[in-house]
Amino acid sequence: MATRDEAVEIPVDGRSIPGTVVAPATAIPGMLFVQGWGSNQDVYLPRARQIASLGCVGLTFEPRGVARDDPRHDTVSREDNLRDLVAAYDTLAGQPGVDPAAIGAVGSSYGAYLAAILTTLRPVRWLTLRVPALYRDEDWAAPKQRLDRDALAAYRRGPVAAEENRALRACAEFEGDALIVESEHDDIIPHAVVANYLAAFRRARSLTYRRIEGADHGLSDRASQEAYAALLMSWVTEMVLDARGGQAYPSGHPWAG
């Protein structure tokens, strides 16, 4: 198994002596799950449990006002939810055993949009954007629910350069591994938005694009849900395998070879 060496100073009798900690090089990744507008963390709990079986630490959470039944649904802003996301990231990064250099974000729709912006505020190694939404930079602090829907729909139908949008600029600066997933029959996020995101990733270490045939925006049928689950699990497994130098599971895991 690959190892890593870390120099340490060992205090003794008012002075220190040099030492070297030799530890497995295996990363223990953390995965942060960000649900879409109108949903709650329950939609990602099954995915988090699947990915935890790889030896990862997953975190789902409830951004304020995102769920439809949250009393703040009509007043919460993108700025509020981005602060929620940063706080959730810091909680995940602080969990025992999590490698701060091996944290990924998995977002859907509005959550994917915020996850893209998160990469400019915190280190993100892996980024999964399923049906990523796109919003104008204007009215950033305005209540999200009160944005002009017609103007937003028109904005999403055309090309948007990375320099013109905060989320796309974040993607242009991202240097990790990215996965973009589109739904064939998405009536909320048109292909033009997905194309804008794909074009923005100029410096990514790798970029994977997949379209789920027959799927709608919310993956309302079981077949689409299973297709996404399999796709996400396969991609994350590949990323974790690469991070661990070819070992899919951490030492001591019952499935480790």
Q: What is the CATH number of the domain that holds 210?
A: 3.40.50.1820
Q: Is 17 among the domain residues?
A: no
pLDDT of residue 255: 34
Q: Is 14 among the domain residues?
A: no
pLDDT of residue 186: 97
Q: Is 257 among the domain residues?
A: no
One-letter identity of residue 233: M
The span from the CA of 155 to the CA of 88, in Å, is 30
- Residues of the chain above pLDDT 90, percent: 63
Across 83-87, 124-128, 237-241, the highest mean pLDDT is recorded for: 124-128
Residue reference for tokens 């629910």: 145
Alpha-helical runs (H) found in 17-148: 45-52, 78-93, 110-118
Q: Is 111 among the domain residues?
A: yes
Task: Average the pLDDT over 174-202 and give the result.
Answer: 97
Burial 156-191 (b: 16+ CB within 10 A, else e): beeebebeebbbbbbbbebebbbbbbbbeebebbee
Q: Is 67 among the domain residues?
A: yes
One-letter identity of residue 222: R
State the average pLDDT for the chain. Answer: 88
The span from the CA of 256 to the CA of 229, in Å, is 22
pLDDT of residue 27: 60
Q: How many domains does the chain have?
A: 1
Q: Is 6 among the domain residues?
A: no
Q: Is 16 among the domain residues?
A: no
pLDDT of residue 50: 87
Residues β-bridged to residue 177: 126, 206
Please tell me the least confidently modeled range out of 43-57, 90-104, 149-163. Answer: 43-57
Task: Average the pLDDT over 31-37 and give the result.
Answer: 88
* Residue 208 scores a pLDDT above 50: yes
Which value, to the nearest 10 degrees, does the dihedral of the CA atoms of residues 73, 74, 80, 86 take?
30
List the domain range (segments joined by +) for residue 145: 28-243
Confidence of residue 254 (pLDDT cuts 50, 70, 90): very low
Strands 15-24 and 206-212: unpaired
Taking the alpha carbons at both ends of the chain, their separation in whole angstroms is 11
pLDDT of residue 233: 94
pTM for the whole structure: 0.86
Q: Is 8 among the domain residues?
A: no
Q: Which of these, 186, 184, 50, lies nearest to 109 by C-alpha position?
A: 186
